């Protein structure tokens, strides 16, 4: 079976390389010629652990190729996965579906043999059903083109393992013939007893956004408790451990800190609210507005803490450790860390940024920050160090590492990963969110709903 993957970003490039790893012949397609040029040389244009090795291996054997030509994939592949972006629309909460529509239409216009189109992008419910019509209108009537929705649940930083060994697989199908094709594609995972849910288009689309909405809610839940522990003097990590022991709750995704970001959770909860409103169900998803607000308040909190610690930001040197939205990724889309860094810069601080992998992407968005290529360069002479992305090299930091470098011996651990007692014992002014190591806060007053 020959597989094409349309859109070769974080999702598509991973999916293409993993499909090749499973033994399929694969062609990745993107409208960005620079990306295709790099991938064709076996060079991954972003950071994802384990993926460069798979890419190089399968490009070398010729099992994995890349193109910008829809005509080429349309004549060649039996199954076409769509993994193009669905970003937030400028100035709105809804998802921008232009790329999905364009990809479906280009495929329909160019597919010249019976084939199955499989949507992987995260889309508002109702999208797949609307694409059936797009495909019908733009395709050759003598060719049978099926459509299925197969949402993706991979996490950046673990993309290869999540793709090759997913927690579950979901097929949204309208025709049993399409289910059989998908079962053949995922035969390896199904042999390993990966749970499979076969359902309709609408449920499949909703499963994806429900999962992301739940994860976002879980993070904001613990961060809302952070606001309370900061006010009354409790400890958020202990609270999370204690409730996490209840198997019905679970400890994962209860790490309090500067909150969630990235190319998915924030835009997906906003798109879900927007879609619910379109359906006349504004109230059903209104709680996600609060989830979003709690999350964004964490960023304010870090900026305020920095102001409190330094008195005046203007002219102060601040070391920013991490700008990626999470460790093991170079992705800075809606990154809480980059947001905080930019706000400290705008308030007049002399901001020096070090991220092991994301400096380049951050500089593309905010060239004015001072990006440096080592921890030492970021921290030397700093009045304040702010740990914003918990890369391993930052999680393992000790006062002995930073002591000789910094002027101020002030540190904000905005990811709650360091041993507060050790830093205090070493004479640091240490602040971590949601603990007794956070100065008491003013109660948060939000506008009436």
Q: Which residues are catalytic?
A: 264
By beta-carbon proximity to ligand NAI, the closer residue of 265 and 309 is 265
Q: Which stretch binds ligand NAI (CB under 6 A): 26-34, 164-172, 243-251, 288-296?
A: 26-34
> Per CB under 6 A, which of residues 115..134 are in contact with ligand NAI?
121-122
By beta-carbon proximity to ligand NAI, the closer residue of 269 and 431 is 269
By the 8 A CB rule, do 205 and 125 touch? yes
Tell me if 152 contacts ligand NAI by CB under 6 A: yes
Q: Which stretch binds ligand UGA (CB under 6 A): 135-143, 255-263, 399-407, 431-439?
A: 255-263
Tell me if 12 contacts ligand NAI by CB under 6 A: yes
From the number of C-beta atoms within 10 Å of its C-beta (0-12, 13-18, 19+), residue 7 rates as buried
Tell me if 51 contacts ligand UGA by CB under 6 A: no
State the minimum distance, in angstroms, from the CB of residue 187 to ligand NAI: 22
Angle of CA points 198, 103, 122, to nearest 5°: 45
* Residue whose C-beta lies closest to ligand NAI: 9
Contact with ligand UGA (CB under 6 A): which of 103, 154, 271, 402?
Answer: 154
State the minimum distance, in angstroms, from the CB of residue 257 to ligand UGA: 5
* Residue whose C-beta lies closest to ligand UGA: 264
Tell me if 253 contacts ligand UGA by CB under 6 A: yes
By beta-carbon proximity to ligand UGA, the closer residue of 260 and 437 is 260
Tell me if 85 contacts ligand UGA by CB under 6 A: no
In 3-state terms, what secondary structure has residue 278? Answer: helix
- Of 217, 117, 120, nearest to 166 (Cα)? 120
Instruction: Spell out where 225-356 has E strands.
Output: 317-321, 350-354
Task: Please enumerate in sequence order all residues whose Cβ is within 8 A of that of 249, keeping only pairs 6 or more positions apart, or say none.
Answer: 243
Tell me if 55 contacts ligand NAI by CB under 6 A: no
Q: What is the C-alpha separation between 344 and 359, in angstroms, rounded?
A: 17
**Distance from CA of residue 335 to its chain's centroid?**
9
Contact with ligand UGA (CB under 6 A): which of 213, 264, 272, 402?
Answer: 264
Q: What is the C-alpha separation between 309 and 347, in angstroms, rounded?
A: 14
SS (H, E, C) 188-246: HHHHCCCCEEEECHHHHHHHHHHHHHHHHHHHHHHHHHHHHHHHHCCCHHHHHHHHHCC
By the 8 A CB rule, do 385 and 401 touch? no
> Per CB under 6 A, which of residues 99..128 are in contact with ligand UGA?
122
Q: Which residues bind ligand NAI (CB under 6 A)?
A: 6-12, 29-32, 35, 83-86, 99, 102-103, 121-122, 152, 154, 156, 263-264
């Amino acid at each position: 079976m020959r597989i094409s993957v349309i859109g070769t970003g974080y999702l598509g490039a991973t999916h293409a390389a993993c499909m090749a790893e499973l033994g399929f012949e694969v062609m990745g397609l993107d409208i960005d010629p620079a990306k295709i040029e790099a991938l064709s040389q076996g060079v991954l244009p972003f950071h994802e652990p384990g993926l460069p090795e798979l890419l190089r291996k399968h490009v070398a054997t010729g099992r994995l190729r890349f193109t910008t030509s829809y005509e080429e994939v349309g004549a060649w592949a039996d199954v076409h996965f769509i993994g193009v972006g669905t970003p937030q629309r400028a100035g709105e909460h809804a998802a921008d579906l232009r790329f999905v529509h364009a990809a479906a239409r280009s495929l329909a216009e160019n597919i010249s043999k019976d084939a199955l189109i499989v949507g992987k992008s995260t889309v508002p419910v109702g999208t797949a059903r609307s694409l059936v019509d797009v495909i019908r209108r733009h395709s050759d009537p003598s060719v049978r083109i099926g459509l299925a929705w197969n949402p993706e649940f991979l996490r950046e930083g673990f993309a290869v393992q999540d793709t090759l060994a997913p927690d579950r697989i979901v097929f949204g199908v309208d025709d049993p013939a399409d289910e059989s094709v998908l079962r053949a594609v995922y035969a390896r995972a199904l042999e390993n007893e990966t749970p499979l849910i076969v359902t309709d288009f609408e449920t499949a689309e909703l499963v994806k956004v429900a999962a992301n909405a739940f994860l976002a809610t879980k993070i904001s839940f613990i961060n809302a408790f952070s606001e309370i522990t900061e006010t009354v003097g409790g400890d958020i990590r202990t609270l999370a451990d204690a409730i996490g022991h209840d198997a019905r709750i679970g400890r994962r995704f209860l790490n309090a800190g500067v909150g969630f970001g990235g190319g998915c959770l924030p835009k997906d909860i906003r798109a879900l609210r927007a879609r619910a409103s379109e359906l006349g169900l504004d109230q059903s998803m209104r709680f996600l507005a609060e989830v979003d607000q709690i999350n964004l308040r964490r960023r304010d909190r870090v900026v305020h803490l920095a102001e409190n610690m330094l008195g005046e930001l203007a002219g102060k040197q601040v070391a920013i450790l991490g700008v990626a939205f999470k460790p093991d990724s170079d992705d800075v889309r809606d990154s809480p860390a980059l947001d905080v860094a930019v706000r400290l810069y705008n308030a007049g601080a002399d901001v020096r940024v070090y991220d092991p992998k994301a400096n380049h992407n951050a500089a593309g968005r905010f060239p004015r920050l001072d990006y440096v290529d080592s921890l030492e360069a970021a921290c030397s002479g700093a009045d304040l160090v702010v740990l914003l992305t918990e890369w391993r090299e930052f999680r393992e930091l000790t006062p002995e590492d930073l002591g000789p470098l910094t002027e101020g011996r002030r540190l904000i651990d905005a990811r709650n990963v360091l041993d507060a007692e050790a830093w205090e014992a070493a004479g640091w002014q240490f602040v971590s969110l949601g603990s007794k190591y956070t100065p008491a806060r003013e109660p948060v007053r939000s506008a009436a709903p």
